[in-house]
Chain A
Amino acid sequence: MIAEFGLAALWLAAALALLQLVAGVAVLKQGETASPAISALVRPSAAIQGVLAAVAFLALLVVFHQTDLSVKLVAENSHSDKPWIFKIAGAWGNHEGSMLLWVTIMSLAGALIALLERRLPEPTMIATLSAQAFTGLGFYAFLLFSSNPFERLAPPAPQGMGLNPLLQDIGLAFHPPTLYFGYVGLSIAFSFAVGALITRQVTPDFARAMRPWVLGAWIFLTLGITAGSYWAYYELGWGGWWFWDPVENASLMPWLAATALLHSASVLAARDALRAWTIMLGVVAFSMSMIGTFLVRSGILTSVHAFAVDPERGSFILALLAINIGGALTLFALRASTVAEGERFSVTSREGALVVNNVALSAILGIVLLGTLYPLLTEAFGVRVSVGPPYFNPVSAIFFLPMLLVLAVGPLLRWRQDSLGRVQKQVVLIAVVILAALAGVAFSTSIGILPLLGIALSLGIAVASFMPLIGRSILRVPLATWGMVVAHFGVAVALFGAACDSAFTQERLLAAQVGETTQLGPWTVTLEGVDPVAGPNWTAIEGRLSARYGDGRPTEITPQSRNFWTPPQETNEAALLTRWNGQLYAVIGEEGEDDRWQLRLWWKPFVTLIWYGGALISLGGLLALIGRVANDLRRRSVQRRGATRRGEQPS
Chain B
Amino acid sequence: MNVPLKPKHQRLILVLIALAALIGAGLLAAWALRSQASYFFVPSEMAARPPEPGQAVRLGGMVQIGSVKTDADGVTVRFVVGDGEARIPVRYAGILPDLFVEGSGVVAEGRLGADGTFVADNLLAKHDENYVPRELEHMTEAQMRAAVEETTQ
Q: Which residues of A contact B (CB under 8 A)?
A: 164, 166, 237-238, 277, 302-304, 341, 344-348, 355, 358-360, 362-364, 366-367, 370-371, 374-375, 378, 383-388, 390-391, 394-395, 398-399, 416-419, 509-511, 567-572, 587-590, 592-594, 596, 598, 600
Q: Are A302 and B134 in contact (CB under 8 A)?
A: yes
Q: Give complex CA distance A276, B82 in Å.
A: 56
- Cα(A596)–Cα(B93), bound, Å: 15
Partner of B22, one of A363, A388, A509: A363
Determine which of B10, B25, B32, B40 lies in contact with A384 in the assembled complex, contact meaning CB atoms within 8 Å.
Answer: B40
B109 CB to nearest A CB, Å = 8
A344 and B40 contacting across the interface, CB-CB below 8 Å? no
Decide if A370 touches B29 in the complex (CB within 8 Å): yes
Task: Establish whether residues A370 and B17, one from each chain, have CB atoms under 8 Å apart when the complex forms.
Answer: no
Smallest Cβ-Cβ distance to B11: which chain A residue: A341
The docked-state distance in angstroms from the alpha carbon of A626 to that of B41 is 53
Docked Cα-Cα span, A237 to B10, in Å, equals 52
* CB pairs A–B below 8 angstroms (15 shown): A237-B95, A345-B10, A346-B4, A347-B1, A360-B21, A362-B25, A370-B26, A378-B37, A386-B58, A386-B109, A399-B25, A509-B75, A510-B74, A569-B129, A571-B98
| B38 close to chain A: CB less than 8 A | yes
Give the distance in Å from the alpha carbon of A622 to the alpha carbon of B68 in the complex: 53
List the 7 closest A-B pairs by CB distance, nearest first: A511-B74, A589-B95, A363-B25, A570-B98, A384-B40, A391-B36, A385-B37
Q: Quick check: B21 and A166 within 8 Å, CB to CB?
A: no
Which chain B positions have C-beta within 8 A of A395?
28-29, 32, 36
Contacts of B70 in A (CB 8 A): 592-593
Instruction: Write out, one digit per residue, whether chain B residues 7-29 have a CB within 8 A of any chain A CB (1) or not (0).
Output: 10011001001100110111011
**Complex contact A572–B98 (CB within 8 A):** yes
- B window 95-143: CB within 8 A of A: 95-96, 98-99, 109, 122, 127-129, 131, 133-135
Bound Cα distance A418, B4 (Å): 10
Chain A at the B interface: SS class: mixed
In the bound complex, what is the Cα–Cα distance between A274 and B5 (angstroms)? 15
B29→A344 contact, CB < 8 A:
no
> Could you say which residues of chain B place their CB within 8 Å of the CB of A374?
33, 37
> Is there an interface contact between B7 and A370, defined as CB atoms closer than 8 Å?
no
Cβ–Cβ contact B17 & A359, under 8 A? yes
Q: Is the CB of A302 within 8 A of B131?
A: yes
Contact A394 B131 (CB under 8 A): no
* B135 interface neighbour in A384, A571, A594, Cβ under 8 Å: A384
Provide the B41-78 mask, 1 if CB < 8 A to any CB of A, else 0: 00000000000000010100000000000100111000
Beta-carbon contact of A371 and B18 below 8 Å: no
Q: CA–CA, A303 to B3, complex, Å?
A: 54
Q: Would A344 and B58 be within 8 Å (CB), given that A362-B18, A395-B32 are in contact?
A: no
B93 in contact with A569 (CB, 8 Å): no
Number of A-B contacts (CB under 8 A): 144
> Of all chain B residues, which has the CB nearest A363?
B25
Interface residue range, chain B = 35 or more
Q: Which of A355, A385, A590 contacts B39, CB < 8 Å?
A: A385
Tell me, rounded to whole Å, the shortest Cβ–Cβ distance linking A300 to chain B: 9
Which residues of A lie under 8 Å from residue B1 when comparing CB positions?
Answer: 346-348
Contacts A355-B14, A567-B128, A592-B70 known; A366 to B25 CB distance under 8 Å? yes
Chain B residues within CB distance 8 Å of chain A: 1-5, 7, 10-11, 14, 17-18, 21-22, 24-26, 28-30, 32-33, 36-40, 56, 58, 70, 73-75, 93-96, 98-99, 109, 122, 127-129, 131, 133-135
B129–A567 CB distance below 8 A: yes
| Residue of A164, A348, A592, A593 contacting most chain B CB atoms (<10 Å) | A592
CB distance from B34 to the nearest CB of A (A): 10
In contact, B37 and A386 (Cβ under 8 angstroms): yes
Residues of B within 8 A of A302 (CB): 131, 133-134
CA of A388 to CA of B32, assembled, Å = 11
A263 to B134, alpha carbons, bound, how many Å? 39
* B75 partner, pick from A303, A341, A511, A568, beta carbons under 8 A: A511
Given contacts A367-B29, A587-B95, contact A346 B75 (CB under 8 A): no
Complex CA gap A417/B5 in Å reads 11
Q: How far is the CA of A508 from the CA of B122 in the complex (A)?
A: 16
Q: How far is the CA of A371 from the CA of B29 in the complex (A)?
A: 7
Min Cβ gap A122→B in Å is 30
Partner among A164, A166, A367, A386 whose Cβ is within 8 Å of the Cβ of B40: A386
Closest partner residue, chain B, to A367 (CB atom): B29
Question: In the complex, what residue of chain A is closest to B7 when comparing beta carbons?
Answer: A344
Q: Which residues of A contact B96 (CB under 8 A)?
A: 589-590
A387:B33 contact, CB within 8 angstroms: yes
Closest to A370 in B: B29
Most chain A beta-carbon contacts within 10 A, residue among B2, B39, B131:
B2
Known: A417-B4, A509-B93. A359 touches B18 (CB 8 A): yes
Contact B2 A371 (CB under 8 A): no
Nearest-CB residue, chain A, relative to B56:
A390
Q: Which residues of chain B are near A344, meaning CB under 8 Å? A: 4-5, 7, 10
Question: What are the residues of chain A within 8 A of B2 when measuring CB–CB?
Answer: 346, 348, 417-419
State whether B94 touches A509 (Cβ < 8 A).
Answer: yes
Asked whether, in the complex, the Cβ of A568 is within 8 Å of the Cβ of B58, the reply is no
B24, B93, B127: most-surrounded residue (chain A CB, <10 A): B127
**Interfacial chain A residues near B36, Cβ < 8 Å:** 387, 390-391, 395
Do B127 and A569 touch (CB < 8 A)? Answer: yes
- How many angstroms between the C-alpha atoms of A97 and B29 in the bound complex? 36
Q: How far is B50's CA from A422's CA once the two chains are assembled, in angstroms?
A: 60
Whether A391 lies near B33 (C-beta < 8 A) is: yes
Chain B residues with Cβ under 8 A from A362's Cβ? 18, 21-22, 25
Contact between chains at A598 and B4 (CB < 8 Å): no
Residues in chain B near residue A371, CB distance under 8 A: 29, 33
The minimal Cβ–Cβ distance linking A242 to chain B, given in whole angstroms, is 15
Whether B37 lies near A391 (C-beta < 8 A) is yes
- B44 CB, nearest partner CB in chain A, Å: 14
The docked-state distance in angstroms from the alpha carbon of A166 to that of B36 is: 31
Q: Contact check, B128 vs A385: say whether CB atoms are below 8 A apart.
A: no
Q: Which residues of B lie under 8 Å from residue A347 when comparing CB positions?
A: 1
A385:B95 contact, CB within 8 angstroms: no
The answer to whether B4 touches A387 (Cβ under 8 A) is no
A569-B98 contact, Cβ under 8 Å, with A164-B128, A341-B11, A391-B37: yes
User: Nearest chain-B residue to A393 (Cβ)?
Assistant: B36
Q: Which of B29, B94, B131 is close to A600, meaning CB atoms less than 8 Å apart?
A: B94
Given contacts A367-B28, A569-B98, A600-B95, list 4 more A-B pairs with CB under 8 A: A395-B29, A509-B95, A592-B74, A594-B74
B4 in contact with A596 (CB, 8 Å): no
Known contacts A363-B21, A385-B38, A385-B39; is A569 also within 8 Å of B99 by CB? Answer: yes
